[in-house]
Amino acid sequence: MGKESKYQSVIGLETHVELDTETKMFCGCKLSFGDEKNTHTCPVCLGHPGSLPVTNKKAVEYAAKIALALNCRINKYTIFHRKNYFYPDMPKNYQISQYDIPLGVKGHLDIDMGSYTRRVGITRVHMEEDTGKLLHTGSTGRISESEASIVDFNRAGTPLIEVVSEPDMRSPEEAREYMIVLRNLILFLEVSDCSMEEGSLRCDANVSVNVKGAKKIGTKTEIKNLNSFKFLQRGLEYEVKRQVEILESKGRVIQQTRHYDSKTGTTKTLRSKEEAHDYRYFPEPDLVPICVEEKMIEEIRKTIPELPSEKARRFEEEYGLPRGDCIFLANSKEMAGYFEESCRYYDDAKNIANWIMGDFSALMNKDKITTIKESRVTPENLCKMLKIVDKGQISSKMAKSVFEEMFTTGKDPENIIESRGLEQISDKGLLESVIDEVIGENPGPVEQLRGGKEKALSFLVGKVMAKTKGKANPQLAVEIIRKKIG
Amino acid sequence: METYYLTAHQLRDKLKKKEISCSEITKSSYRRIEEVEDKVNSFIRLEKESALLKAKEVDALIASGGSVEDLTGIPVAVKDNICTKNITTTCASKILKNYVPVYNASVIEKLESRNYILLGKSNMDEFAMGSSSENSHFGPVRNPWDVNRVPGGSSGGPAAAVAAGEAICALGSDTGGSIRQPASLCGIVGLKPTYGMVSRYGLVAFASSLDQIGPLARDVEDCALMLNVICGHDENDSTSINKEIPDYRSFLKPDIKDLKIGVPSELMVEGIDGEVKEKILKVISMAEDMGAEVEEISIPSLKHALSVYYIIAPSEASSNLSRFDGVRYGYRNTEARTLRKMYRKSRAEGFGDEVKRRIMIGTYCLSAGYYDEYYEKARRVRTLIINDFKKAFSKFDVLLSPTSPTTAFKIGEKTEDPLTMYLSDICTIPVNLAGLPAISIPAGLSKDGLPIGVQVIGNVLREDNILRVAYSLEKAIGFNDRPGL
């Protein structure tokens, strides 16, 4: 038994999600990514003297949508606080955030781990504004080696929500799975593009370890810079191992904030508890409380689509697919939509699922296509192809190559089959004359087959295939050969 | 003809009758400025060239049939914490010495829509923190009635300019008495509207939950007409009240018969100068003569107003002033080699002592472990004060008190003793804590020839009541002395 199995890890995640609103959280500037620096700014998001924030109603709506989808209770009276600290990417040197009365509280998210389901508590969902971006000049881009730092305020004031989970996860895999499920859920709500690469989805983790069965949980550390699913899991695995090693050598874990370095796969001390900021939170006097009325909550609830877990459950019932298939298909809105649309053209749901999960997904991965919507294959064409296979017009082996062409060109399967002359010869008369030729040209193998050597059959079929350039329907060929020789 | 001592409504009538041009009015005000500005130092910056140009434009406009509205062509002084596009807005601080706003405050937009004339930006206490206008990077403002004395603060520049005849009227800001106290010490009228009546957008924040822009003028009517122009909902200010604005001039009637006036005993005892008290009592008997019912009332929670204010205001200020860090605009120490040092040196060199003192007090009050004891407790006491005022206004139409416990004190007299200085606002601070409207009007002169002011406080949104009482008392008192500059 390994050392680590004596211990259990306790993990909670803080996830930041940038909302996809038209404008910023507290001013009318447009949201942008990758535009010319400092082109989407105004006195408010630059923190100019005298400017005042005005809350973006759409952002509140989006945030409430997320909170409701996470089964949170919405606070009918919610307020903003100021979080005070100095940093050049913060125009006002305080961030407008929420503190003791956040928008949503006490929710949960269920994570399917295959053999079990983990229910992760959601402590709170709150709204805040994003900071600007610091850019350090010089080739390395590191602050210590740069001659100057510049700030791009295009991102400053972007609406952010923070989803804080309870420390309910028990392994790095669970944490990774939580992030995947949370991301899918938010994508379903269409309130954020949740791109970890562009930083619109970011996460920090709190982690501690303790001996299994112990009443007290261990001292936690906070891990920052976990900006991909892979890094989240690896960073946590490293940190769990580090903490276990400390405990095994009778040491003490120190409460601190640590930085994950994806190059080395390790975590390093960023600051200790003593160095932690005193944010001096106090109610934002420039904003009035937000009163979320029951009516508004109901309106927002109506805009929440069927969520992945509900969808998977329905797929199980409606299409009779295995649970694993349903979870896979329901994970993304596009995938689920594609599947359901296909089911309208073609009856065998399992066959559709197999193709989507098999060849289709493999080709998408190869081409780095993230959503099925971007592929050139329409549900209609996929189903057309499946029907052609069912009719025996092409072999399933041929189908793979036809699909590949459909995937790269977006062509209709019938066109491909026709232009490549792939249609199987299922015409008895035509095949019989070819088989007569083959029998005449190969007396040896014919004798062998008569003598019961089945191997000779495949040789003869091969000859038929060669003569027809692979187009003969193999089953039919076998049938005719047996009849003629039998 | 010199017009600098006329009022905005008198000048409006003359402009309407084409008896005078806007250029003449503007030139007259600048002649006065040239005459006395050296003595009072009420401006940080003058906009003479653009003002005269604008005056010509307005004259052309009027000549071509353009309408003369309230404030059209009237020379106004604007406190230098109100943002003016392309014109420096310094808050009388070194840290914003060269700061040029890229936008106009909402009140400035409103004044511009009336074609007002911006005379210049007025001197003040740095970031509106002070009661004497001595805390200015640009030197202290002097009281036109006695240049060895302070004009009050923090809107000392606007008050002195109006009292000295440099400006016809002015815009100030009031966080704890910063319009009313200098108006009182300079013998003019100053009004702080209900919190939320005037947009704060473009007013450089001192204490967001207390700040309010308001007018300073030489009579109540001018205050009312300025209020007509600057009030109103603004979607850029979330705390702005969305309510229809009445014509404030319609309340200017010399009639207070049967009006109920309360006199809070807490604002009449402690530290109130004998001569001030005497003058207030005289005003009270005038009110009674006019048929008002005057009664003493005790509002015990007012005792705590000063302490509550000096926790809440610095707390908000400590956060509001964080943005002055030398990163994006304003003063920056260029010798510092690290970020932290740049922050520290820029702020240490850019802010004056009083501002630093309040940032430190505020930072302390909000810090972990002290928040509940200070900020949170102050917030709760503030609620008590609000409720006590509500109770008082269920019985009275207005409350009446001195504006300032003393007349203008000597320059330098209280600079070494901040606590005594803070007491100058003891009568005005409770009004801001409760977000009420209040006005200060001259009640007369002391034996030394220094102005004494009387404050009239109204319930939330009851500007009508304070204007009516102030107008009636103004007529009864008949104050028309001028400083002998």
Mean pLDDT of B415-440: 93
Ranges assigned E (strand) in B40-193: 43-46, 75-79, 117-122, 169-174, 189-192
Report CA dihedral (A459, A462, A464, A467) to the nearest 10 degrees.
-130
Per-range mean pLDDT, top range of A340-344, A433-437, B246-250: B246-250
> Is B485 part of any domain?
no
pLDDT tens for each residue of B73-107: 999 999 999 999 999 999 999 999 999 999 999 99
Question: B429: domain CATH number?
Answer: 3.90.1300.10
The C-alpha atoms of residue B423 and residue B404 are separated, in whole angstroms, by: 9
Q: How many residues does chain A have?
A: 486
Q: Which of B319, B339, B383 to probe by mutation at the A interface, max A CB count within 10 Å?
A: B319
Question: Does residue A395 surpass a pLDDT of 80?
Answer: no
Question: Does residue A1 surpass a pLDDT of 50?
Answer: no
In single-letter form, the type of residue at position B1 comes to M
Local structure of residue A62 (DSSP, 8 states)? H
Residues of chain B that touch chain A, judged by Cβ-Cβ distance less than 8 Å: 81-83, 89, 91, 96, 99, 101-103, 105, 200-205, 207-209, 235-239, 315-316, 318-319, 322-325, 327-329, 339, 343, 363, 366-368, 371, 375
State whether B238 and A287 contact (CB < 8 Å): yes
The C-alpha atoms of residue B358 and residue B376 are separated, in whole angstroms, by: 18
Q: Which residues in B lie closer than 8 A to residue A281 (C-beta atoms)?
A: 366, 371
Question: How high is the pLDDT of residue A141?
Answer: 65
Q: Residue B320 belongs to what domain range? A: 1-479
> Is B61 part of any domain?
yes
Question: How high is the pLDDT of residue B4?
Answer: 97
A321 and A244 fall within a common domain? no
Question: Does residue B386 surpass a pLDDT of 70?
Answer: yes
User: pTM for this one?
Assistant: 0.89
Mean pLDDT of B263-290: 93
Q: How confident is the prediction for chain B on average, in pLDDT? A: 97
Q: Which residues in B lie closer than 8 A to residue A53 (C-beta atoms)?
A: 238
Contact predicate B90/B204, CB 8 Å: no
A467 and A324 fall within a common domain? no
Confidence category of residue A3, pLDDT binned at 50, 70, 90: low
**A69-73, A108-112, A380-384, B112-116, range with the lowest pLDDT:** A380-384
Catalytic residue among B122, B178, B184, B440: B178
Confidence category of residue A393, pLDDT binned at 50, 70, 90: confident
Question: How high is the pLDDT of residue A431?
Answer: 79
Q: Which residues in B lie closer than 8 A to residue A88 (C-beta atoms)?
A: 325, 327, 339
A391 and A480 fall within a common domain? no
- Cβ partners under 8 Å of residue B345, min gap 6: B333, B335, B336
Q: What burial letters (b/e) apply to B223-236, b meaning 16+ CB within 10 Å?
A: bbbbbbbbbbebeb
Confidence category of residue A425, pLDDT binned at 50, 70, 90: low
State whether A287 and B363 contact (CB < 8 Å): no
A371 and A446 fall within a common domain? no
A216 and A341 fall within a common domain? no
- Alpha helix positions (H), B321-402: 339-350, 353-366, 377-395
The C-alpha atoms of residue A465 and residue A398 are separated, in whole angstroms, by: 13
> Is B374 part of any domain?
yes
A323 and A255 fall within a common domain? no
Question: Roughly how many angstroms between the first and final C-alpha of chain A, as a whole number?
Answer: 64
Higher per-residue confidence, A375 vs B145: B145
Nearest residue in B to A82, CA atom: B319
Residue A465 burial (CB < 10 Å; 0-12/13-18/19+)? middle
Question: Does residue A279 surpass a pLDDT of 90?
Answer: yes
The C-alpha atoms of residue B427 and residue B181 are separated, in whole angstroms, by: 9
Q: Residue A370 belongs to what domain range? A: 306-419
Report CA dihedral (A223, A224, A229, A233) to the nearest 10 degrees.
-20
Question: How high is the pLDDT of residue A90?
Answer: 94
State whether B237 and A94 contact (CB < 8 Å): no
State whether B238 and A53 contact (CB < 8 Å): yes
Q: How far is CA B131 from CA B43, B137, B167, B426, in A?
A: 17, 15, 21, 11
- Contact of A93 with chain B, judged by CB distance below 8 Å, is answered with yes
Q: What burial letters (b/e) apply to A82-95, b meaning 16+ CB within 10 Å?
A: bbbebbbbbbbbbb
Per-range mean pLDDT, top range of A216-220, A365-369, B58-62: B58-62
Confidence category of residue B428, pLDDT binned at 50, 70, 90: very high
Is residue B178 among the annotated active site residues? yes
Is residue B79 among the annotated active site residues? yes
Mean pLDDT of A452-481: 82
The C-alpha atoms of residue B430 and residue A189 are separated, in whole angstroms, by: 49
Mean pLDDT of A450-479: 82
In chain A, the number of structural domains is 3
Q: What angle do CA B267, B187, B248 make, to 5 degrees?
A: 80
A40 and A160 fall within a common domain? yes
Q: How confident is the prediction for chain A on average, in pLDDT? A: 89
* Minimum-distance CB partner of A49 among B99, B209, B315: B99
Question: How high is the pLDDT of residue A324?
Answer: 86
Contact predicate A377/A360, CB 8 Å: yes
State whether A47 and B323 contact (CB < 8 Å): yes
Question: How high is the pLDDT of residue B62?
Answer: 96
Among B406, B23, B25, B482, which Cα is nearest to B218's? B482
A191 and A333 fall within a common domain? no
Place of tokens 């609620």: B383
A181 and A73 fall within a common domain? yes
Confidence category of residue A206, pLDDT binned at 50, 70, 90: very high
Confidence category of residue A426, pLDDT binned at 50, 70, 90: low
Question: A446: domain CATH number?
Answer: 1.10.10.410
Instruction: Give the rounded percent of residues in chain B with a pLDDT score beyond 90.
Output: 96
Q: Which of B325, B334, B433 to probe by mutation at the A interface, max A CB count within 10 Å?
A: B325
Question: Does residue A418 surpass a pLDDT of 60?
Answer: yes
Strands B438-445 and B451-458: antiparallel
Report CA dihedral (A243, A245, A251, A257) to the nearest 10 degrees.
-30
Q: For residue B188, count other CB atoms closer than 10 A to its CB.
A: 30
Among B46, B231, B22, which Cα is nearest to B157's? B46
| Complex ipTM value | 0.96
Question: Does residue B454 surpass a pLDDT of 50?
Answer: yes
Q: Which among A258, A273, A300 is the end of a domain?
A: A300
Calculate how close chain B gets to A253, using CA atoms only, in Å: 25
Q: Which residues in A lie closer than 8 A to residue B204 (C-beta atoms)?
A: 49-50
Question: Does residue B318 surpass a pLDDT of 50?
Answer: yes
Q: Which residues pair with A210 in a beta bridge?
A: A8
Calculate how close chain A gets to B120, using CA atoms only, in Å: 18
* Minimum-distance CB partner of B102 among A43, A151, A281: A43
A58 and A164 fall within a common domain? yes
Mean pLDDT of A243-267: 92
pLDDT tens for each residue of B371-382: 999 999 999 999
> Is B462 part of any domain?
yes
Q: Which residues in B lie closer than 8 A to residue A151 (C-beta atoms)?
A: 327-328
A176 and A68 fall within a common domain? yes
State whether B322 and A86 contact (CB < 8 Å): yes
> Is B386 part of any domain?
yes
Question: Does residue A350 surpass a pLDDT of 70?
Answer: yes
Calculate how close chain B gets to A201, using CA atoms only, in Å: 28
A343 and A237 fall within a common domain? no
In chain B, the number of structural domains is 1
Q: Which among A274, A300, A326 is the end of a domain?
A: A300
Catalytic residue among B154, B199, B240, B424: B154
Is residue B209 among the annotated active site residues? no
> Is B382 part of any domain?
yes
Confidence category of residue A4, pLDDT binned at 50, 70, 90: low
